[in-house]
Amino acid sequence: MRYLLLIILCLSLILVAGCIIKFTPEIEEDNTLLVVEGMITDQNMTNKIRISHALPVGKVITPVPVKGCRVTITDRHGSIYNLKESSPGIYITDSTRFRGQVNNRYRLNIVDGGKSYESYTMEMKPVPPIDSIYYEKVLIGEDEFGVPIEECQVYLDTKDPFGKCLYYRWDFSETWEFILPYSVPNYRCWKSAYSGKIIIKNTSVYNQSRVDRFPIQYISNETERLKVKYSMLVNQYSLNEDEYAYWERVKSVSENVGGLYDVTPMSITGNVYRLDDPDVPVLGYFSVSAVARERIFIDDNFIGLPNYYSYCPGDTIRYPGPIPNLNISAWLIVDNSNGQPPYRVITYFRECADCTLRGTNVKPPYWDE
């Protein structure tokens, strides 16, 4: 209740002050809210729990990691697994000792100083395999010369013939190859990114647990993703009704306001609570789910892709001799010193001469699958 009164008081002061003065309330360390984010799965991998602090009023752009917590996971049989702090606020399981099992139940316990928190007991539900991931080209118009412009929509199909998985969530990681159009040592690289989007689907309103032509990702031509070769690894999770409702609220608020740290703390609470005072809100969610994975490669010719390196060429040098500040503030991307006529082209953008500034030149092990 004291948090609610504090928020009301702050909002009242902001209304009185109008838009002229920015009000930043002074809040003691003891009044910060705990944020718990993480998941355990049935995969043979390290599971990660992130624990941080956020202020109960205002915006916290960067979460503050909570160091030195004692974090454990307890299953339905009473077995206790200790998590190790791998970096400030990041707690991980030992993949050689812990791996989630379908139909088992798990509870997260956190001791932060003199405060103890725990999650509700969560059952690891099975998840059906992904039937297929496929893409279609999307014609979005024509350029000034009448050349068609194409982009890409990726779809997903899945179903649970047993009707047990009614609520789905997905995330994905993507990797794409890009090639600099110049004869430089590091011209071919790969770049990866994590989706970071909340992608969910409720099939309980249908007669069967089935998802057809679900738009999992739209790829525009604003980046180089479609230029050479693109890959996406999709993870599929099974949710219970409460967790689906949580992610639905987070998605609704984040799309209108911002991220988890930008919303009013009272508006979204998860499945973690403080033992000595359950009324204190705790943000985030401790997720438990089996995982189904599927990868797609897109290696196709998309029409109308722009020239992503039109800004690169700087000066054309037609005289012999050294180039001032070479490899400091200028980089060579074209060397036609022996041509007729001889010339060299430099750029003032290092990423145009070295692709490793935006990616890695180490090919992913799965790239030629």
**pLDDT tens by residue, the chain, 369 residues:** 444 334 333 433 333 333 333 333 343 445 578 899 999 999 999 999 999 988 655 544 467 899 999 999 999 999 999 999 999 999 999 999 999 999 999 999 999 988 999 999 999 999 999 999 999 999 999 988 899 999 999 999 999 998 889 999 999 999 999 999 999 999 999 999 999 899 999 999 887 889 999 999 999 999 999 999 999 999 999 999 999 999 999 888 877 665 555 554 445 779 999 999 998 889 899 999 999 999 999 999 999 999 999 999 999 999 888 999 999 999 999 999 988 889 999 999 999 999 999 999 999 999 987
Nearest CA among 258, 259, 277, 260 for reference residue 269? 260
* Spatial separation of the C-alpha atoms in residues 267 and 5, rounded to whole Å: 14
Nearest CA among 81, 76, 83 for reference residue 102? 76
* Spatial separation of the C-alpha atoms in residues 58 and 7, rounded to whole Å: 9
Q: What is the pLDDT of residue 267?
A: 58
Burial class (CB in 10 A: 0-12, 13-18, 19+), 50: middle
Peptide bond into 88 cis (omega under 30): no
The DSSP result for 293-344, as a single string, is: EEEEEE----TT---TTTT-EEEEE-S-SPPTTBTTTBEEEEEETTSSS-EE
Cβ proximity of 145 and 122 under 8 Å: no
Q: What is the pLDDT of residue 262?
A: 55
Nearest CA among 38, 52, 59 for reference residue 259? 59
For the entire predicted model, the pTM comes to: 0.83
Q: What is the pLDDT of residue 255?
A: 74
Q: What is the pLDDT of residue 45?
A: 93
Helix (H) or strand (E) holding 17: helix 2-17
* Spatial separation of the C-alpha atoms in residues 79 and 100, rounded to whole Å: 12
Distance of CA 330 to the CA centre of its chain: 34
* Spatial separation of the C-alpha atoms in residues 259 and 295, rounded to whole Å: 28
What are φ and ψ of residue 246, in 5° steps? -60, -50
The DSSP result for 27-95, as a single string, is: --GGGPEEEEEEEE-SSSS--EEEEEEE-SSS--SS-EE--S-EEEEEETT--EEE-EEEETTEEE--T
Q: What is the pLDDT of residue 33?
A: 83
- Amino acid in the structure at residue 37: E
Name the token pair of 184.
């430089």
Q: What is the pLDDT of residue 257?
A: 60
- Amino acid in the structure at residue 131: D
Cβ proximity of 364 and 175 under 8 Å: yes
Q: What is the pLDDT of residue 220?
A: 96
Distance of CA 241 to the CA centre of its chain: 23
Q: What is the pLDDT of residue 8?
A: 30
Cβ proximity of 311 and 251 under 8 Å: no
Q: What is the pLDDT of residue 26?
A: 41
Q: What is the pLDDT of residue 258?
A: 56
Nearest CA among 223, 215, 150, 158 for reference residue 193? 223
